[in-house]
Amino acid sequence: MKLPGGMNMQAAMKQAQAMQQKMQEEIAKIRVEATTGGGMVAIGMDGQKNVVSVKIDKEVAGDVEMLQDLVMAACNEAVRMVDQQVQSKMGGMLGGMGLPPGLF
């Protein structure tokens, strides 16, 4: 079966699988660190949104409510940062395929 542009379905599937593998490799390389409270709390996260490190300044360790807020804010920021990097990488990879903007 031929697709628009002359590519057959099998070749298109093979290309899609290769791109998916490449994307997974790129996402695995992502590492971000989000800080809150002027650096009092830092959360490290990988591309699969696993928390890989937590740093807490001793100054906020005694104020439980503030600490909870800072950790939550740092986690949310780290997730946003990972999402932004994944979107950027996907846009760069998928841009060469000629797909309509906003599809992914």
Q: What's the domain count of the chain?
A: 1
Q: Do the domain assignments include residue 60?
A: yes
Condensed to tens digits (0 to 9), the pLDDT of residues 67-79 reads: 999 999 999 999 9
Structure confidence at residue 104 (pLDDT): 46
What residues contact residue 57 under an 8 Å CB cut-off, 6+ apart?
37, 39, 40, 41
Asked if 84 and 34 touch (Cβ cutoff 8 Å), the reply is no
Q: How confident is the model at residue 82 (pLDDT cuts 50, 70, 90)?
A: very high
Q: Do the domain assignments include residue 102?
A: no
Q: Do the domain assignments include residue 6?
A: no
Q: Which domain holds residue 51?
A: 28-91
Q: Do the domain assignments include residue 13?
A: no
**Global confidence as pTM:** 0.74
Q: Do the domain assignments include residue 100?
A: no
Q: Do the domain assignments include residue 57?
A: yes
Q: Do the domain assignments include residue 7?
A: no
Domain CATH number, residue 81: 3.30.1310.10
Condensed to tens digits (0 to 9), the pLDDT of residues 38-66 reads: 999 999 999 999 999 999 999 998 999 99
Higher pLDDT, 56 or 96: 56
